[in-house]
Amino acid sequence: MQMFRVILKKEKRGTYNLISWIALSVNFITLFLITSATGFQNIFPALLGGIAILMAILLRRMYPGKGTVAFGIALAICCIAWLLQSHWWIALVDLLFLLLSIQAAKDLVLYFSEEEIKYSSILTKRIPWTEVNNALLKDDILTIDLKNNRIIQQLVDDRNSLLNEKEFNDFCKKHLTPEP
């Protein structure tokens, strides 16, 4: 059974990293301010926040392609620090942000099989070939024209260098059902 895997380009990765740095910085500053307001009686949560930022910096330098892991570990440490401060609701916000950042860092992948087109995101979306008017890969742009007048058009990631355009387009053309 022939199947194609197409990775879509993520152009907002830099924005996600910036938001993660801002979130970590706000966590540390807030932990430090709360600790200083209590007269530094319990300095451990602020230290955890500082360790989280240092850890994120070090992990990003040591493993440049693994920024999400660094932010994930740092946010998990911040969650623990907030729980130690008895601010569970801030820990929940950090946990939610952690889950969203993990999801945002995942590759956007489309699988073209004999039965359907499968899009992996938070929830896997399946598009049967009967709902597709046309699917085409040309000049690193994937276009999927659906019968409900929706068009999906995305740049394809450079990691798809082994993907043969003609072979892919022939595969898609073979699975399209002609309109009566």
pLDDT tens figures, 106-152: 888 999 999 999 988 778 899 999 999 999 999 989 999 999 999 99
Give yes or no for a contact between 91 and 48, defined as CB atoms under 8 angstroms apart. no
Instruction: Give the residue, 6 or 70, on which the prediction is more confident.
Output: 6
User: Is 93's pLDDT higher than 60?
Assistant: yes
For 163-175, what is each residue's pLDDT tens digit? 889 999 999 999 8
* Element holding 114 (H helix, E strand): none
Q: Nearest-CA neighbor of 172 among 113, 103, 89?
A: 113
**pLDDT value at residue 179:** 56
Query: Is 2.30.29.30 the CATH number for 109-175?
Result: yes
Q: Taking the complete model, does pTM exceed 0.75, yes or no?
A: no
Beta-carbon contacts of residue 108 (< 8 Å; ≥ 6 apart): 7, 8, 10, 119, 120, 121, 154
**DSSP state, 12?**
T
- Residue 101 to residue 10: CA distance in whole angstroms: 13
**pLDDT value at residue 177:** 66
End-to-end CA distance of the chain: 27
**pLDDT value at residue 158:** 81
